[in-house]
Amino acid sequence: MSHTSNTKSKGLFIMLEGTDGSGKTLQTELLQKRLLKEGYNVEQISFPQYGEKSAALVEDYLNGTFGTADEVGPYRASVLYAVDRYAAKAKIEGWLAAGNIVIANRYVASNMGHQGGKISDPEERQKYFDWNYHLEYTIFDIPRPDINIILHVTPEISQRLVDKKDERTYLTEGKTRDIHEDDLTHLKNAEQAYLDIAKKFPEFFLIECVEANDILPANTIHETIWNILAPKLP
């Protein structure tokens, strides 16, 4: 797989991905703040785009409208998320063409992690990874990130951290976890899928965010991200 974006751009596209509760949103904010301080023009986007039309079916899926995660299956669910990213294609391409650094809080690897985790057979999971890459980067032709980072937190710690989150608008009233977050087996399978992604695709950087059964300080994780990013900055 190439690091080059599908679009000829002057900008730099960074994907921050990770297991649930790994602090992706906080790390996105810390990275944007530092890049702005360094004088770069920065845009950020989070997926799914909750509240937008393109994410409506994703919200239904996460609230269990279509059944459990396993009942929906990896391929059908993947299309819902892919359409939401396709809706942002022109926006991202415009930012990159203008020379901005773009940070995506979750992107294509979210499908590969959470949906790939539904597939227990290693060979079938690899086939799914290839199918999803083709769906998003060839059929929908969305921009490819120049830098792909996966934050790794173990599932048990993930659930603990998720329960500390503020109320999220896409969840129906009274819920604190979506159907992925509430299923420890799913989180463990997704964790393995993310580890498989890091092994299969050399353009992915895996950052271990846990030490002594607790998540590392946010600034420590940020510095690791920065050390990966800094040599690639324009």
Chain CA centroid to CA 76, Å? 18
Residue of 87, 222, 231, 49 whose CA lies nearest to 147: 231
Q: Reduced to 3 states, what is the DSSP secondary structure of residue 202?
A: coil
Q: Reduced to 3 states, what is the DSSP secondary structure of residue 205?
A: strand
Query: Could you give the CA distance from residue 198 to residue 207 in angstroms, rounded to a whole number?
Result: 10
Q: Reduced to 3 states, what is the DSSP secondary structure of residue 208?
A: strand
The H-assigned helical ranges of 88-173 are 89-97, 108-110, 122-133, 155-162
Q: At what angle do helices 184-200 and 155-162 cross, to 10 degrees?
A: 120
Pick out the residues of the known binding site for ATP: 18-25
Pick out the residues of the known binding site: 18-25
